[in-house]
Amino acid sequence: MRMEPKIGKHFTLAVLAFLGLAVGAHAGMGQLKEVFKWKQVDFKLADEAARTAAIKSGEFKQANNLPLGIEVWEDKVFITVPRWKSGVISTLNYVKKNSGESPLLIPYPDLETNSVSQAPYDTKIVNTFRVRADECDRLWVMDAGLNNILEDPQLLSPPKLLIFDLKTDKLLRTFPLQAGDIKEDSFFANIVVDVDKNKCDEAFGYMPDLGSYGLVVYDWKNNETYRVKHHYFHFDPLAGNYHIGGVNFQWTDGLFGIALGPRGDDGFRTMYFHPLSSTREFAVSTKIIQNKTIASDSYYQYRVLGSRGPDTQATSSFLDLPSGVIFYTQVNRDGVGCWNSKKHENEYSADTNGLVSSDNQTMIFPNDLKVDRDSNLWVLTDRLPNFIYKHLDENEINYRVLSAPVSSLIKGTVCE
């Protein structure tokens, strides 16, 4: 893997995989409720002296801290702050649900684990975009390993998985991706976990490689990884042009969004997936994905579901098991889309996909979303295009976390 990736190609892609485009008139926020909002994020440090020292040393530059990924576990809302630029003091953080409208971010599991001021980095969290809490109360952290992406990129460690026990906040396991997992333009910005709460030692982690069009699978039981390839992991050349927040750019990002359906009678699940620069959705059984000898050689086991229609490129997706509804970000439409995998199992089209919420002020760049165990949708928006290409006005609300019950969001839509 190169130390200096093609910033204009895949990092802006992966990264910017989180942008939302205005859709015209103020569309209204639907039933999504604003839980948190920030003009700029700040952190809970030891004391004011520590904060002053961090600013003086350049370890903390407030304007360079942009929240991007979200996960919810019990009373914690995890928020990632990728190291796009220098001065990000902590890349993995959390706030409590009831901690007010603009809470300080608390480094997880602590500040030291998030510090990149000095080596070694093998158990440090260098740079994370998305994390996932599993059914066994473990937090899976996908660490891209690349620091200061937009200014002076440095690969401090290979891309790696770090897995924490959420009950004790202790690091359970780290696994650096192997040479065969990583290609020249690889970039890992997402992690999806497949596990049964009664079989915690049989977990699989799915890590899409949006830069080099592959999927890396981590097998917990055997403590090993392998790489899967398929044509459907590639981007669509007709869906790589974006107009977001007044900025026109082209992305070639491949496989990114992955959502898992319920476990079937055979013990496996349907993996729904899509490249970022695409409007199509695909599916395959995890029975194929979890078999490393056939995963890349079973072309016809992968299915094309259909297209959502023009300008429907999506980053994150998540399936709510009780309703069967897949929610996904709509980066070109400042909103969140939906498709009911039960009701429309064999029909995937613009007619069977809906928009549950859209707002060209509060939902500029819906970056990440999750559904919690009580079937509440959580969405993080962050105006990423302005952050990268222009600047963010520190006097405006730039970052938001929104939430609502799934049942209220889909009521009256094609996804109900």
pLDDT for the residue numbered 2 = 33
Q: Determine how many CB atoms are found less than 10 A away from the CB of residue 302.
A: 19
Write out pLDDT tens, residues 89-138. 999 999 999 999 999 999 999 999 999 999 999 999 999 999 999 999 99
Backbone angles phi, psi at 248, to 5 degrees: -105, 130
Q: Is 376 helix (H, G, I), strand (E, B) or coil?
A: strand
- Distance between CA 167 and CA 165 in Å, rounded? 5
Q: Parse the chain into domains and list their residue ranges.
A: 7-410
* Of 213, 209, 250, 207, nearest in space to 235 by CA: 213
Task: Give the amino acid at 185.
Answer: D
Q: Return the beta strands (E) in 185-300 as ranges.
A: 192-196, 199-209, 214-219, 224-228, 241-244, 247-250, 255-260, 270-275, 280-285
- Distance between CA 38 and CA 393 in Å, rounded? 12
Contact 153, 3 (CB under 8 A): yes
- Distance between CA 93 and CA 76 in Å, rounded? 10
Burial 98-114 (b: 16+ CB within 10 A, else e): ebeeebebbbbbebebb
- Distance between CA 341 and CA 391 in Å, rounded? 39
Q: Is 410 helix (H, G, I), strand (E, B) or coil?
A: helix
pLDDT for the residue numbered 299 = 97
CATH of domain 7-410: 2.120.10.30
pLDDT for the residue numbered 5 = 38
pLDDT for the residue numbered 30 = 54
Q: Determine how many CB atoms are found less than 10 A away from the CB of residue 3.
A: 9
- Distance between CA 273 and CA 15 in Å, rounded? 18
Q: Determine how many CB atoms are found less than 10 A away from the CB of residue 23.
A: 18
pLDDT for the residue numbered 386 = 85
- Distance between CA 84 and CA 13 in Å, rounded? 13
Backbone angles phi, psi at 171, to 5 degrees: -75, 120
What is 51-72 written as a DSSP string?
HHHHHHHTS--GGG-----EEE
pLDDT for the residue numbered 249 = 78
User: Going by C-beta distance under 8 Å and a sequence separation of 6 or more, which residues neighbour residue 414?
Assistant: 338, 340, 344, 351, 352, 353, 354
Listed as ranges, residues in the chain with pLDDT below 50 are 1-29
User: Going by C-beta distance under 8 Å and a sequence separation of 6 or more, which residues neighbour residue 61?
Assistant: 55, 85, 86, 87, 88
pLDDT for the residue numbered 251 = 82
pLDDT for the residue numbered 105 = 98
Contact 337, 354 (CB under 8 A): yes
- Distance between CA 220 and CA 223 in Å, rounded? 5
- Distance between CA 352 and CA 28 in Å, rounded? 22
- Distance between CA 272 and CA 345 in Å, rounded? 12
Asked whether the whole model's pTM tops 0.85, one would answer: yes
- Distance between CA 312 and CA 167 in Å, rounded? 38
